Each structure stands twice: as C-alpha cells, then as structure tokens.
C-alpha cells in the first residue's frame, strides 16, 4: 500500500504549526497507523528531516498514551479502537490520511502530535480516589458487592484516560472522563464515605483546567475506545446535584 | 572487554528461623523511623507501575517525602497497565485446598526451584493483604452473584486462586495504586516528575544518594538528591525488540545502576509467553499478548498431518493433536508457561505449525462455546476476543486463534537482599526490576502480586530499617555535591555524542538486528555454539552502533530517536551479559533451556508421543517436602554465584 499523510507539525507549545504532506510507500494492510508513522519516521530520519513526535507506549489499546485526530476523528474512524489498534487495512490504497493532535484548551500541544494531558492527573488528585491507607483494609469478602454492581463499576473503570472524549467534544468537555470515575466510586460501597466531597472537588478542578461544558452531543461516547457510556455523565450530574444540596444544607 | 568478577558470596541477610516465621520475626526486630522523623527523609522512587506507585503512595502515607519519576506522561500509563489475566492470592475462598504454603510451593516449583524461598514465602503470606487493600481502594474485581470475589485458574496451579477484573486486571490494580498516589500528590507528600528518564545513579560515600535524569520534553539534564533510591523500572524484554512489552519499556535505569556497581542476577532467565498473536510482518513494532487465562477454556492443538493447509474447522477432531492435553494430562492446557512455549516451538519446528508462516498453533474455543455458551465466553474473555479480532481480522468465536510464544517477562534483574536492597547501600529494587521471587520462570498472575507486595507491604518496613541504621540524616547531600556535577556532565556528554553521531543506520535498525540475534540464540532454546556466536555478533554490532548510528535532532528538545538510542546502547551491553550468563549456566531450568543439558526425563518428554509423565508436568509429583533451612542456604549460594558472574565491567 501507498498512502499520503497530511500531518500537523508544530515545533513547540509557543510556535505556530502547519500541515505538511508526506508520501509513504510499502505499507502493509496489517500494520497499525502508528507502525505506518514509524515507517514514515524512519524515512524522515534517513533523509535528515525531523521525525514526527507522537506519544505511544503499550501499542495494544490499554495504556491510553496514543491518541490523535485521524481524518477528523479522535483515534480515527473505527469504533472502540485506539490509534495503536487502528489497522491500515481500513484505509484504501492511495488514501490521504489527515493526522492532527487532540485539540482542546485543557490539552496544550507539546510538539507535533504530542499534547499535555496532565490536567487529568490533577482532576484525579482532587478527589478521584478512596482514602484508604495501606494496611488498613478489611478482608476483601467482608463487604459484599453484587455481581451486577461490580460489573457496572467495571464498565466505568475501564477508562484509559486517553482524552479522546475531550478531543471529540465540540466544547472540549471532560465530563465523560470525570463522570466515569465519579460513577465507579458512587456505585461501590468503598466510595460512599467521600462521595459528595469527591464530586464537588473533581468537578471544580475540571472547570479550573479550562474544559468546556457538556451540551449533549454524545460525540465522546462515539469516540471512546473503551465504549464508556454517556450515562456516566447523567450519573455525574445527579451526584453533583446531590452533593451541592448537602453542601448547602450543612456547609463544606 | 568483559571481566568476570571473582566469586564472592553475597549476604542475602535472610532472617534466621523456620520459613513460616522469618518475616514476622524480622519485622519485630528491624529498626524503625519514628513518625516525627519520617518527614525529615526524602525518598526517590523511579517508576510508577505497581511496584513504584504502591511504594511511593505507601511511603508518603507514612510521612516520608517522596519524589516519584516516570517516563510516561502520567503514572497511570506505566506498563503494569497491560497485564491482563489476574493476581494470585492464597485466600482459599474457593475452599479447594489452597494455603500460604501451597502458593509458596507452586511459585517456587514454577520457578524451577531457583527463587529465593524466604522471599517467596513472604510474598505468599502477603498475597491476601494485597487483595484486601485493592478491594478497599475500589478496584472492581470480578464477583459472584452473592457478592463474594470470583476466582479463575492459571497455569502451574491446581487450585483456583487468581483474582481478576475482566481481562484488565493490571489496569485496574494500577489505577488503584495510581489513585492512592495522586491522593498523596494532592496532600503534598509526593512530588511527581513525569516524562523523566533516569540516566544515572549518584553515589556519595558509596551510598545511593540521588539520580540524574533527562527531561523528555525540554531535554534538560536534571539531578535530584535524596536519602535512598528505589528502583521500580520493570523488565528488559524489549532487548529482543519484538516482545509483549511497551515500546518505551527499557533496561536503562537498572543498567546504569549496574554500571555503578549494583550486581545483576540471572539475566538469562527470560520468559517467553506461550500465548501471543504471531508476527505478521517485518514492520511490526511489538507483539500482543493474549492472556494466559484463555488457556482455562481454550484448547491448544495442531493438525496431526504436517503442513495441513485445510481451514481449522475442516479438520476433524481425530486429525487434530491436542498436544498439551496428550503430553501433560494432569495440567492439560494449563502447564507452566515455559513448557507451553517450548512445546509450541517444537510442534512448529517439526512442521506441524499453522498460519501463513507456519509459526503458530491453534487456541480453540469451540468446545468452551459449546459447553458454556457464547455469552459466558464473551463475559470471561470478551475484550481479548475483540482485541484479537481487531488485530488479525479473524473472529475467534468462529475460528480458532493462532498463537505463538513471545518474550514477555524477565525473571532476572538487579540482585537484592531480603530487604530488597541491592549491592549498593541505599539502592532498593522492587518488582520486575529485581531478581528474587520468580526463579527461572514466573507463574501466571504472580507478577502483579510481587510488584504490589514489594511496594505496599515490604519496602515500607525494610526501607525504615535502612534509613534508621545507616544514619544518612547526619550527612544530608544536595545536588551541589561534586558527585552530582560529575554525573550530570557524563550524561550530557553521552547525549551529545549520540545526537552528533553522523552515521547511516537508524536506531530502529540496530535494535531490530540485536533482537534477531537474541531471539535466534538466546531465546527459547540455547546451546553453547549459538551463545558464543551471539556474544561475538553482539560485540560487533555494538562497535558498529557507536560508529554508524544516526540519531539526529537536537539534545535540548523532545527527541524520541535520542531516547531510543540511549536505550538500545544499553540493550547492546545487556544482551551480551544475557548470552554470557546463558553460556555459563550449564543446565536447563525454567525459561533457560540449554539443549546440551536436559535430564533424561525431560528429553523423553520432549520427544514422546504418548508419555503422560514429565519432570514438572505431572501433578502427582507435587510433594510438600522442601526443607526450609536447606533450601534457603542453597538458594543463597546459587544466587550469589550467578550475581557474581554476571557483573560486566566495560
């Protein structure tokens, strides 16, 4: 296969970027999009040009490091698929593929296709945990969790933190990411003690990071490589409403 | 020039007494740091996977100041995230006869009796606490309808003791410890340094007092001082180029410590995982693991006829060879990983392999789907099936998976004593980066267990002992110390040398070449001639690397080629050590299979068509007959011996 790649090049956070065109030959259908970029980078290195910077690590769809807009879609056109899992057989021979970084105020560009997603870490640090020091846990079977509840919590916990939801949202909102974590803990008995505080603090931090609001486009669910449902957003809203009312009544 | 160090016996400092009470006695007698004093210490933790993340969080909870470093953009992406199948614990929730002793015994036996038994017993004792801790953090483990925890079976065990969260157990456990870590970041007790690569260890007066790392965004060489250094930087399977490890996994941090004097133990104990998606082409960047848990319900087979090109579904049952069930009836498809891997290689080498390359065997779920129904199979393995489908374009519900072994885990690593301290005072090594718990072969679902045991429940005790007894507080050092300046200068010099090298071949080409040598001669099957050839080829390749590598770009910039160049340079040195260790170890054990040194029994098993027995494949061979004192001392001797021979001075 031969493909043409139209890719965003940007030297650093403060410089302006532009699209550049490259042709890559000898691509096999079973290669992933990232392996195609590897091949292009080999070509660029040999020609004394600077390779394209992009993040990737596990290359099996679980670490969440990779993520780019492929033909205008976060992680590309396949449903429930990360960029590293996206195979070239889904593109016609001779295709022109447009590749850009995730674009959101909360994710400033570092270089080329690499963005800074540390805002997600700060949101988790604001309350996306259960406060339990090492060594103070009761026996794991002391607290029973019905199978369907555990399964639902797992559905929400499957988030890989890639940020595709933010990139796909016209408002660059992070509510699917935040909602999934809040939902996971609100379902589990272990998450009850800090339930209200968690919702208030995580959402406050999300707003502080410059992510937009949700206006029900549901693009996030469509882009999510792990198929996280937008019902997590609805759950987040009820949690937030409840927590706000408790706060009004009792103070912080 | 490689110099083999004089044989020295290292003191593993294994506590006295019967194996069952070593850890309790040790905890009762080691030094403590009082709560008021903990805040005076700074601990550097390199790595944020299960071992590093859990250590950083737990030490911060105790009150230490922690500086935590990772190469990823966030701690949540450390490669522990990719572990699929599960985590062992001796809970005996299934009432099937499990116990601390049995988990200990299975782990030691799985490691072909090359593990340090005192460490493994402790690991086994701590296994239950790990499950409790993770459940309390909100890890959504699989549950039964009544709400109790569910278990599955894994290779090398005859009890069901593996806890899991679908096929994403590593991810969920990592997120548990990542959230605990972020809670400490929020509390101000952990300072997080992401996108940093450790490039040197700084010693002051012979003790580990800091690290030098490269900021992967700006390219700046930074240094950090502390009172102890904890290394939790994972394994080195990516030396093989193609492995199941993440593309950024590397040996650099551990190797640079080795070059500063930390001894390496058992480098040739590498695990080749039996169930990976076979190589599709030369452009492939990594191999994808299909969890071993699939062998619970999948049946491994090849056609009985060589080169049978029929579609798998067209081959009738009587023309299939379910070779694992045939050769190892007691364990069937759940034999330990090394045995399953070599059996697959044997089948393919003798012409029974399937797929385009002939280097694959089938893993078939048809009978599981008949027995359990498609829905149950989907519930158990759905995400793995989807992953396989996405990669290969074949639907495993309809046609059997094709699998082949791939480098996956490295049992060897930096030598540590019972307190997890390396031969450099103050440098502690946790998780896959150390060598102690898995011997010559690691059983499934025990890597997560070891990483978390080391981080949550071992180092919080043993580090205190070091800090209190070494009196490091009396001589605080800062990065103004000449040792830091010298190390920064040396690291910057190497970086400049790599960037400035005006060769012709890319880093990728060199890495591919090294991987080919290692896979061919230091892979699943090894012999003297091949190992000698590997050593000479690696030496040649290393020389060429420094003459002819092409890196490009700038050093003060985000530069992936430069990152990889430094790692490949280290793999070139490690690769030689790997081969040297394999050559020196004149025996077959676990992941180290020397063709010349097979026991008559193992040989019979390798060639037999009908035998039901094997040295390790026969369940009846399990006899709890280890004598703790004898084995403790003998494992100490053999381990220190291998550590000593493994020291390379360049």
Select the residue of A114, A129, A153 nearest B183 (Cβ to Cβ): A129
> Please, what is the Cα angle at B510 between B441 and B498, to 5 degrees?
110
Residue at a domain's end among B455, B482, B509: B482
Please judge whether A132 and B136 are an interchain contact, meaning their C-beta atoms are less than 8 angstroms apart: yes
Please judge whether B76 and A121 are an interchain contact, meaning their C-beta atoms are less than 8 angstroms apart: yes
CA-wise closest residue to B10 among B386, B307, B435: B435
Report pLDDT for B382: 85
Same domain, B534 and B433: no
Same domain, B468 and B517: no
Query: For A118-250, which CATH class?
Result: mainly alpha
Same domain, B186 and B232: yes
Report pLDDT for B196: 98
Could you tell me the mean pLDDT of each successive run of 10 residues in chain A, 252 residues long?
97 96 95 96 95 97 96 96 96 98 97 98 98 97 97 98 98 98 98 97 98 97 97 98 90 62
Q: What are the tens digits of pLDDT across the range B529-571?
A: 999 999 999 999 999 999 999 998 999 999 999 999 999 999 9
Is 90 exceeded by the pLDDT of residue B471? no
Nearest chain A residue to B138 by CA distance is A190
B227 to chain A, closest Cα gap in Å: 22
In chain B, count of helices (H) and strands (E)? 19, 19
Please judge whether A58 and B82 are an interchain contact, meaning their C-beta atoms are less than 8 angstroms apart: yes
B103 to chain A, closest Cα gap in Å: 18
Nearest chain A residue to B55 by CA distance is A134
Q: Which residues of B touch A34 (CB under 8 A)?
A: 285
Is 50 exceeded by the pLDDT of residue B486? yes
The rounded distance, in Å, linking the Cα atoms of A230 and A176 is 7
Round to the nearest angstrom and report the end-to-end CA distance of chain A.
Answer: 61
Side-chain half-sphere CA neighbours of B536 within 13 A: 5
> Is residue B617, in this structure, part of any structural domain at all?
no
The rounded distance, in Å, linking the Cα atoms of B446 and B155 is 11
> Please, what is the Cα angle at B625 between B431 and B90, to 5 degrees?
45
Please judge whether A146 and B145 are an interchain contact, meaning their C-beta atoms are less than 8 angstroms apart: yes
Q: Which residues of A touch B178 (CB under 8 A)?
A: 124
Strand partners of residue B321: B302
> Is residue B326, in this structure, part of any structural domain at all?
yes
Report pLDDT for B601: 64
Contact B208, B262 (CB under 8 A): no
Is 90 exceeded by the pLDDT of residue B381? no
Residues 6+ apart with CB under 8 A from A114: A53, A54, A55, A101, B558
Q: Which domain holds residue B349?
A: 273-405
Strands B65-69 and B264-265: unpaired
User: Which residues 52-71 of A have a C-beta within 8 angstroms of B?
Assistant: 53, 55-65
**Does residue A108 sit at the B interface (CB-CB below 8 Å)?**
no
Is 60 exceeded by the pLDDT of residue B618? no
SS3 A115: strand
B76 to chain A, closest Cα gap in Å: 8
SS3 B198: strand
Selecting among B337, B442, B542, B616, the annotated active-site residue is B337
Q: Which residues of B touch A83 (CB under 8 A)?
A: none
**Does residue A80 sit at the B interface (CB-CB below 8 Å)?**
yes
Q: Packing angle between helix A231-250 and helix A175-187, nearest 10 degrees?
A: 70
Residue at a domain's end among B585, B600, B617: B585
CATH number at residue B307: 3.90.700.10
Please state the domain count of chain B. Answer: 3
The rounded distance, in Å, linking the Cα atoms of B150 and B270 is 31
Phi, psi of B549 (to 5 degrees): -80, 150
Same domain, B388 and B419: no
Q: Which residues of B touch A57 (CB under 8 A)?
A: 72, 77, 79, 246-248
Residue at a domain's end among B585, B614, B633: B585
CATH number at residue B470: 3.50.50.60
B449 to chain A, closest Cα gap in Å: 15
Q: What are the tens digits of pLDDT across the range B238-288?
A: 999 999 999 999 999 999 999 999 999 999 999 999 999 998 877 788 999
Q: How high does pLDDT run on average in chain B?
A: 90
Catalytic residue status for B337: yes
Q: Which superfamily, per CATH, for A3-110?
A: Beta-grasp domain (3.10.20.30)
Same domain, B512 and B578: yes
Same domain, B567 and B580: yes
Distance of CA B429 to CAs A63, B44, B259, B433, Å? 24, 12, 15, 6
Q: Where are the domains of chain A?
A: 3-110, 118-250
Distance of CA A65 to CAs A243, B175, B195, B293, B451, Å? 33, 15, 12, 25, 22
A123 to chain B, closest Cα gap in Å: 9
Select the residue of A51, A63, A141 nearest B77 (Cβ to Cβ): A63
Same domain, B387 and B263: no
**Does residue A76 sit at the B interface (CB-CB below 8 Å)?**
no
Please judge whether A144 and B138 are an interchain contact, meaning their C-beta atoms are less than 8 angstroms apart: no
Select the residue of B179, B392, B558 nearest A110 (Cβ to Cβ): B558
Same domain, B95 and B130: yes
Same domain, B77 and B219: yes
Is 60 exceeded by the pLDDT of residue B617? no
Is 80 exceeded by the pLDDT of residue B613? no
B55 to chain A, closest Cα gap in Å: 10
Q: Which residues of B touch A194 (CB under 8 A)?
A: none
pLDDT band at B356 (very low <50, low <70, confident <90, very high): confident
Q: What is the ipTM of this complex?
A: 0.98
The rounded distance, in Å, linking the Cα atoms of A227 and B382 is 13
Same domain, B159 and B32: yes
User: Which residues 187-216 of A have a C-beta within 8 angstroms of B?
Assistant: 188, 190-191
Q: What value does the mean pLDDT take over residues B498-510?
A: 93
- Mutate which: A79, A140, A192, vs B, most B CBs within 10 A: A140
The rounded distance, in Å, linking the Cα atoms of B340 and B333 is 8
Report pLDDT for B6: 56
SS3 B402: strand
Please judge whether A31 and B283 are an interchain contact, meaning their C-beta atoms are less than 8 angstroms apart: yes
């Amino acid at each position: 296969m031969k493909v043409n790649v139209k890719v965003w090049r940007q030297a650093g956070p403060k410089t302006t970027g532009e699209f550049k065109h490259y042709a890559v030959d000898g691509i096999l259908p079973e290669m992933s999009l990232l392996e195609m970029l590897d091949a292009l980078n080999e070509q660029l290195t040999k020609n004394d040009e600077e390779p394209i910077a992009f993040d990737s690590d596990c290359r099996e769809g679980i670490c969440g490091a990779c993520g780019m807009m492929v033909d205008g879609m976060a992680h590309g056109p396949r449903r429930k698929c990360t960029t590293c899992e996206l195979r070239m057989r889904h593109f016609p021979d001779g295709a022109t593929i447009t590749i850009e970084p995730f674009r959101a105020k909360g994710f400033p560009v570092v270089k080329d296709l690499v963005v800074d997603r540390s805002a997600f870490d700060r949101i988790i640090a604001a309350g996306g945990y259960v406060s339990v020091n090492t060594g103070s846990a009761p026996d794991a079977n002391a607290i029973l969790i019905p199978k369907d509840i555990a399964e639902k919590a797992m559905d929400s916990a499957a988030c890989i933190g890639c940020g595709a939801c933010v990139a796909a949202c016209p408002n660059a909102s992070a509510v699917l990411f935040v909602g999934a974590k809040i939902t996971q803990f609100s379902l589990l008995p272990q998450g009850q003690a800090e339930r209200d505080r968690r919702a208030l603090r995580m959402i406050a931090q999300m707003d502080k990071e410059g992510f937009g609001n949700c206006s029900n486009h549901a693009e996030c669910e469509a882009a999510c490589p792990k198929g996280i449902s937008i019902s997590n957003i609805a759950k987040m809203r009820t949690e937030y409403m409840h927590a706000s009312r408790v706060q009004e009544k009792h103070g912080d | 020039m490689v110099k083999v160090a004089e044989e020295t016996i290292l003191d593993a400092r294994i506590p006295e007494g019967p194996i069952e009470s070593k850890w309790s006695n040790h905890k009762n007698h080691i030094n403590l740091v009082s709560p008021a004093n903990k805040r005076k210490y700074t601990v550097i933790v390199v790595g944020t996977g299960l071992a590093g993340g859990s250590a950083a969080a737990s030490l911060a909870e105790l009150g230490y100041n922690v500086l935590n470093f990772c190469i990823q953009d966030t701690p949540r992406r450390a490669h522990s995230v990719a572990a699929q199948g599960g985590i062992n614990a001796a809970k005996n929730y299934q009432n099937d006869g499990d116990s601390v002793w049995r988990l200990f015994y299975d782990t030691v036996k799985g490691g072909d009796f090359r593990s340090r038994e005192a460490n493994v017993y402790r690991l086994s004792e701590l296994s239950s606490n790990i499950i409790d801790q993770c459940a309390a953090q909100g890890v959504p483990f699989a549950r039964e309808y009544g709400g109790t925890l569910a278990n599955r079976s894994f290779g090398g065990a005859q009890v069901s003791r593996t806890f899991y969260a679908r096929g994403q157990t590593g991810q969920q456990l990592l997120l548990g410890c990542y959230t605990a870590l972020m809670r400490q970041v929020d509390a101000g007790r952990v300072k997080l340094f992401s996108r940093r690569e450790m490039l040197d260890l700084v010693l002051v007066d012979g003790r580990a007092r800091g690290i030098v790392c490269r900021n992967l965004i700006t390219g700046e060489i930074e240094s950090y001082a502390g009172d102890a250094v904890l290394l939790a930087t994972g394994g080195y399977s990516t030396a093989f180029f193609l492995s199941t490890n993440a593309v950024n996994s590397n040996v650099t941090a551990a190797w640079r410590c080795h070059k500063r004097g930390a001894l390496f133990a058992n480098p040739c104990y590498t695990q080749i995982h039996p169930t990976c998606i076979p190589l599709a082409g030369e452009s492939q960047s990594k191999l994808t693991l299909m969890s071993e848990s699939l062998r619970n319900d999948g049946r491994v087979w090849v056609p009985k006829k060589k080169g049978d090109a029929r579609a798998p579904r067209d081959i009738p049952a009587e023309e299939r060879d379910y070779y694992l069930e045939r050769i190892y009836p007691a364990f069937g498809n759940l034999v330990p990983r090394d045995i399953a891997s070599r059996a697959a290689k044997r089948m393919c080498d003798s012409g029974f392999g399937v797929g385009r390359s002939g280097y694959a065997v089938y893993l078939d779920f048809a009978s599981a789907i008949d027995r359990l129904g498609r829905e149950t199979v989907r519930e158990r393995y759905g995400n793995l099936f989807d992953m396989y489908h996405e990669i290969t374009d074949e639907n495993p519900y309809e046609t059997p998976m094709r699998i082949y072994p791939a480098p996956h885990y490295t049992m060897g690593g930096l030598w540590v004593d019972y307190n997890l301290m390396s031969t450099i005072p103050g440098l502690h090594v946790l998780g896959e980066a150390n060598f102690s718990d898995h011997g010559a072969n690691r059983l499934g679902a025990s890597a997560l267990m070891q990483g978390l045991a080391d981080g949550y429940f071992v180092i919080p005790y043993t580090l205190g002992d070091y800090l209190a007894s070494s009196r490091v507080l009396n001589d605080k050092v800062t990065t103004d110390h000449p040792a830091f300046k010298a190390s920064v200068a040396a690291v910057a010099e190497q970086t400049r040398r790599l960037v400035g090298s005006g060769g012709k071949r890319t880093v990728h080409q060199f890495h591919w070449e090294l991987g080919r040598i290692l896979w061919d001669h230091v892979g699943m099957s090894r012999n003297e001639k091949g190992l000698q050839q590997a050593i000479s080829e690696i030496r040649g390749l290393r020389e060429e690397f420094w003459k002819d590598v092409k890196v490009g770009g700038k050093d003060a910039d985000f530069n992936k080629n430069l990152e990889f160049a430094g790692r490949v340079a280290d793999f070139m040195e490690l690769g030689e050590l790997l081969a040297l260790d394999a050559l020196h170890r004149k025996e077959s054990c676990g992941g180290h299979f020397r063709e010349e040194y097979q026991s008559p029994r193992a040989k019979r098993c390798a060639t037999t068509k009908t035998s039901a027995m094997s040295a390790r494949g026969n369940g009846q061979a399990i006899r709890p007959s280890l004598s703790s004192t004898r084995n403790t001392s003998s494992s100490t001797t053999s381990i220190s011996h291998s550590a000593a021979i493994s020291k390379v001075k360049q």
